[in-house]
Amino acid sequence: MFLLQAAGDFLSLVRTYCAQGDYEVAASLVEESADPAAAFHLARTFEAMDEHAEAIRFFGLAGRSVSFYFYTGN
């Protein structure tokens, strides 16, 4: 994972940490990097886990409003 970080591929790093269930590390990485794509991925992950407060926070970091799914009830 060092190579991904050295290359600045924060989205891949966040995806990897999320797949491993290490959401705290993924969140820290998003906050440090300010990568919008990584923030959006983490927001969608929290949304799928029904962690709505965290999802909204990371949608904000991604520069997005709340996901479409919050409005449709899906």
State yes or no: pLDDT of 36 exceeds 60: yes
Query: Taking all residues of the chain, what is their mean pLDDT, rounded to a whole number?
Result: 85
The pLDDT score that the predictor gives to residue 9 is 87
For residue 73, is it within any domain? no
Number of domains in the chain: 1
Return the ∠ at Cα 32 (arms to 28 and 33), rounded to 5°.
Answer: 115
The pLDDT score that the predictor gives to residue 64 is 72
For residue 11, is it within any domain? yes
pLDDT in tens, 52-74: 999 999 999 998 765 555 555 55
**What CATH number did the domain enclosing 23 receive?**
1.25.40
For residue 15, is it within any domain? yes
Distance CA 13, CA 15 (A): 5
Q: What percent of the chain has pLDDT over 70?
A: 77
Region class of 20: left (phi > 0), else alpha (psi between -120 and 50), else beta: alpha
Domain that holds residue 32: 2-63
Distance CA 36, CA 20 (A): 21
For residue 33, is it within any domain? yes
Q: Other C-beta atoms within 10 Å of 16: how many?
A: 16
Instruction: List C-alpha distances in Å: 54 to 6, 43, 48.
Output: 27, 7, 11
State yes or no: pLDDT of 50 exceeds 80: yes
For residue 19, is it within any domain? yes
